Copies of this chain bind each other. A is one copy, B any other.
Amino acid sequence: MNIVKPQTIAGVMELLPDDQLVFDHIKQIIEETFLSYQFLPIDTPAIEKNDILFAKGGGETEKQIFGIDSSKKDMSLRFDLTVPLARYVSEHFSDLNFPFKRYQIGKVYRGERNQKGRYKEFYQCDIDIIGNDSLSIHNDALLPKVIYDIFQKLDFKGIKFHINNRKLLNGFFESIEISDKEEVLRTIDKKAKIGDEKTKELLTELCGEDKALKLMGLINNKRDNKELLKYLESLDLNDNYKLGLRELKEVYDYMIKFGIDDESIMIDLSITRGLDYYTSTVYETFLDGYESIGSVCSGGRYENLAGNFSKQNLPGVGLSIGLTRLFYQLQELGLLEKYREDFTDCLIIPMDEKLNFYAIDIKNDLKNKGYKVDIYLEDGKFKKKINYADKIGVKKVIIIGQEEYENKMVSVKNMEDGNQVSVKIEDIGDYL
């Protein structure tokens, strides 16, 4: 038979089972936490119509899309979970209750060039809250609390939310008469990558040295949160600025009230989020000591989720964890070991096929008692059987031979130190 080389397409993450267990464990913590805050699950198809996906216009997205080769070529694989959310909320508008809090954990697809840590297929874990016509600002504080809980459970205590407000930034830009706001935002957004000097240089080119200095003064203002808020209040600029500042302060106060540690919040006026999608609150999230991996969770407030699909005004706020990329980065840093749990408490090995039924009785009994117990019933020599136990990394093996069977005993072998003891079947639990 002609042998085809077994390989995945380039640029996808596929894990071996031991790693998959860790991945699933993290995914489960994320999902449980979403549910614990009453976010409802939705599961949209991975394939959407092209007129849905490109409703905003193609642009950069169109280059990255995976098209579906149907005769009509009118559908494609989703590239994020936000467009499907917009379509979902518009399509099912009358069946949903607002504010609509939903989460979705699912795969998205992008035709990225092959590079390390960039994936063509990856999981996103999104939470969004969508209002019908209006949505209170406290929602912008609830989302980080959900993410905060997730990282606490994952034992990353040093999570830090960098928060900002785009209205405040816009107001400030207006106050110093900056004409090309978008380009200034884009430049500030690059600061973490290109450094202070280069940022100042680019801003000077854009709007002159005087304004560049003022901008750098604002975005580099790294005081204690409360002091910074006080300072910003003292500036007393235009209405846009004041509204943004009030929102920023409320989000900060609610974040504290919801139970986020002050240490885990940093009002950071250099956070802009590249997209022109966000209109008010914006967030990036970093892990203390691992700032090099970049933001592990980003998002913000948007004015209208679904203007392309509906005449309803649907303001919303969302945060998203790029799980596949995060997993890759934690793995590279060797930080995943702590999530590994024993998959199997013990493996039962009957020495001979005649003892299989007796071994199954013991397995059923231990399983009923709550043990994670596996049984090896394949034919073969003892060496092959104990090798299997060794390879799967199980710590205790229960060996059943003819003599043990006759005496209602088993041998419990400790795979770590090699010790073996004879135990009455009713006492096995004490030795696991």
Contacts and interface: CB of A to CB of B under 8 A. Distances in A.
A95 B16 contact: yes
A308 B2 CA distance: 6
Interface in A340-368: 343-344, 356-357, 360, 364, 367
A317 B44 CA distance: 32
A49 to B, nearest CB: 6
Contacts of A52: 4, 6-7
A147 interface: no
Interface string A88-122: 10111001110100100001010100000000110
Contact of A45 (B4, B5, B47, B121): B121
Nearest to A123: B43
Contacts of A377: 136, 138-139
A378 B75 contact: no
Contact of A43 (B23, B46, B111): B23
A58 interface: no
A41 B14 contact: no
A20 B6 contact: no
A8 B99 contact: no
A12 interface: yes
B45 A14 contact: yes
A67 interface: yes
A136 B378 contact: yes
A429 B73 CA distance: 57
A75 to B, nearest CB: 5
B68 A309 contact: no
B91 A8 contact: yes
15 contacts: A5-B309, A6-B86, A8-B45, A14-B43, A17-B41, A20-B40, A20-B43, A24-B43, A36-B367, A37-B374, A46-B107, A47-B109, A68-B69, A134-B378, A257-B357
